[in-house]
Amino acid sequence: MTPISAEHPQMSVEDFEEIERHAPETVRLEFINGKLEVKPVPDGDHGEIFMWLLRQCMQYRPDLDLYPERGLVVEAYRKGRSRPDGTLAPTGHFAGHGEWSGTQGVLMTVEVTSHDADTDRRDRVEKRDGYAQAGIPVYLLIDRDSDTLVVHSEPKDGIYHLVRTYSYGETVELPDPVNITLGTEKLKNYSG
C-alpha cells in the first residue's frame, strides 16, 4: 500500500475544500501533507496566548495585522491547506480574497500547540515543513508542552535554515521582515 503523502494524497484538494466547506463550526479541518487533519478547538490558555501575541503585534507593528485562523494555500505545488492560529500580514492584505489565500505577502505564521496526541507531528513537523515550502519568512511555534517559543526563519529549498528556541520569560527577537521584540514573561501564567 502506498503511504499517504503530498505526492499520493488521501483525496484531491477540491474534495477537501468541499468537505471543509460543509464541516460544522465546531470543527477545523486542514489538508496537510496529503492528509485530512482535524485541528482541535482551542482551550482558554491557547486563546489567552494568542491574544497576548496579538496585543504585542499591534503595539510594535500597527502596520500589520495578526489574522486568526486565516486559510492559507501551502506546501510544494500548493496542494496543502492550513489554518494557522495566526497569520501576520500587512493591514488589509486579505481584502477581496476568498476562503483560501496564497502566501505571497505573508510575513509570519503562528501555531500555539494544543494538548493532543497529534500536536507533535502536526505543529512541530508537518506545518513547519509546509510553511517553509511556501516560503513564509518566519514561523513562530509557541510550544506549551516545553514552555518555549521556537522561531523558524530563513526558508530555502523547503526548509527553515535558522531555528532558535527561547524559554518563557526570555526576550524573543522575531527576525526580518517581522522585526518585533517579544517580552514573554506573561506566558508563564499559562504554563503547565
Q: What's the pLDDT band for 36 if we cut at 50, 70, 90?
A: low
- List of domains in the chain: 44-190 (3.90.1570.10)
Q: Is the pLDDT of residue 120 over 90?
A: no
Measured CA to CA, the distance from residue 40 to residue 82 in angstroms comes to 13
Phi and psi torsions of 43, nearest 5°: -90, 180
Measured CA to CA, the distance from residue 11 to residue 61 in angstroms comes to 39
Phi and psi torsions of 135, nearest 5°: 80, 20
Grid coordinates given for 160: 527553515
Higher-confidence residue: 125 or 73? 73
**What pLDDT shows up at residue 77?**
46
Measured CA to CA, the distance from residue 70 to residue 111 in angstroms comes to 12
Q: Which of 8-17, 35-44, 130-139 is modeled with the greatest confidence?
A: 130-139
Checking DSSP bridges between strand 148-156 and strand 138-143, what pairing results, if any?
Answer: antiparallel
CA dist 20 → 2, 6, 17 (Å): 25, 18, 5
